[in-house]
Amino acid sequence: MTPHVPSRLPDVGTTIFTVMSRLANDHGAINLSQGFPDFSPPPLLTERLNHHMAAGANQYAPMAGAPALREAIAAKVERLYGARYDVEQEVTVTAGATQALFTAIAACVRPGDEVIVFAPVYDSYGPSVVLAGGRVREARLRHPDYRPDWDEVRALIGPRTRMIIINTPHNPTATVWSAHDLTELAAVTRGTDIVVVADEVYEHMVFDGGRHESVIRHAELRERSFVVSSFGKTYHCTGWKIAYCLAPRELMAEFRKAHQFVVFTVHHPSQLAIADFMTAQPAFATELADFYRRKRDFFRAQLAGSRLRPLPSAGTYFQLAMYDRINDMADTEFCRWLTIAHGVAAIPVSVFSADRRDDRVVRFCFAKNEETLAAAGERLRRV
């Protein structure tokens, strides 16, 4: 007889990304739901991967990551944000950003601790907190501008608050935090032991002359923050699952205690390939914003003749759109109908909040070839 194991996550099912991608595959729909490109990484990156595999880098990398990659990360961060992280003690390479986020939470959150997140919220944060024995408290990013309400955050902070998780540029709303927001975050955490986890995986995708306000730029926040970024997002290789975490040495020491037993280390030749690519083409990341701005503008042009109403997209590779001029379905029902009846898959935004607040908004991913976006646009204009 199969033993009964009480669920640690009784309210969690299969992620919406898996559900919608499977539905798209089952019905031959264009998949603008899950956030991954339909184009390849830069040729030099894959060439260097093949080189390092053939050269024998097929055994374990050091637990914290290949030294060459950690050096490249530290150099990039100093160049962009003016802060130097110690390569030996403050930079760790991870098996994707989700693992980095999980590990930071596991290292800090204890039973009874509270963690503040901003909803709509990326779906891995809450379950990670629950698995650590913590409690999630949601601050609302309100439709349609999705800005943080710092008075609400102040009201949520209490004696059990252990962590605040932020995400900018923000998935799913495609908004970008301002320097003022970081000043407010510093003010609400000042004089406390609250740890900040900054999910900055879309750091290189800020449009229209905006600037990514990393917590790294803010000396006070930097001293209490884990900062997570993703090579998969930056170099079009989400399937490689290579990311990194930065933190002051005291926090990183705790992070690595957990990291070594979660994954120990990550794919060695991929790390060396990325290090080579960062050294050879440092401008690739800084040119990414213009690359994706063009895709955003192309996709928005495709929506111009539709009944969808696009909201501003200031960063990431996502576009929100309201569908209230089409029908009054719930957003989860609308996305299923859109996929099956019209051949385009999107993500319902209500799934990113615990209360399932439904503003009739869906999320599209425009990290696709123009042919894909044009085909999707043709179908969406017929809805």
* CB-count burial class (<10 Å; 0-12, 13-18, 19+) for 313: buried
At 247-302, the pLDDT tens digits run: 999 999 999 999 999 999 999 999 999 999 999 999 999 999 999 999 999 999 99
d(CA 52, CA 272): 7
Is residue 15 predicted with pLDDT exceeding 90? Answer: no
Look at residue 336 in the predicted model and tell me its pLDDT. Answer: 97
At 184-236, the pLDDT tens digits run: 999 999 999 999 999 999 999 999 999 999 999 999 999 999 999 999 999 99
Query: Three-class SS of residue 119?
Result: strand
Is-above-0.95 flag for pTM?
Answer: yes
Look at residue 11 in the predicted model and tell me its pLDDT. Answer: 87
The first and second tokens of residue 281, run together, are 């083409």
Look at residue 12 in the predicted model and tell me its pLDDT. Answer: 86
Q: Report the mean per-residue pLDDT for the chain.
A: 97
d(CA 213, CA 216): 8
Q: Where are the alpha helices (DSSP H) in the chain?
A: 16-26, 43-54, 67-81, 97-108, 125-131, 150-156, 179-189, 219-222, 231-234, 249-262, 268-280, 283-286, 288-303, 331-342, 370-380
d(CA 99, CA 78): 24
Which phi and psi (to 5°) does residue 264 adopt? 65, -65
Give the pairing of strands 114-119 and 135-140: parallel
Strand partners, 298: none
At 352-371, the pLDDT tens digits run: 999 999 999 999 999 999 99
At 62-114, the pLDDT tens digits run: 999 999 999 999 999 999 999 999 999 999 999 999 999 999 999 999 999 99
**What is the pLDDT averaged over residues 43-50?**
98
pLDDT band, very low/low/confident/very high, at 13 (cuts 50, 70, 90): confident
With beta carbons less than 8 A apart as the criterion, state whether 124 and 144 touch: no
Q: Is the peptide bond before 169 cis (omega within 30 degrees of 0)?
A: yes
In the chain the domains, ranked by start, together with CATH numbers, are 16-41+286-380 (3.90.1150.10), 43-283 (3.40.640.10)
d(CA 144, CA 138): 17
Which phi and psi (to 5°) does residue 265 adopt? -150, 175
Looking at per-residue pLDDT, the higher value among 119 and 12 belongs to: 119
Look at residue 14 in the predicted model and tell me its pLDDT. Answer: 85
Query: Three-class SS of residue 319?
Result: strand
Look at residue 357 in the predicted model and tell me its pLDDT. Answer: 95
**What is the pLDDT averaged over residues 12-25?**
91
The identity of residue 327, as a single letter, is: N
Is residue 239 predicted with pLDDT exceeding 90? Answer: yes
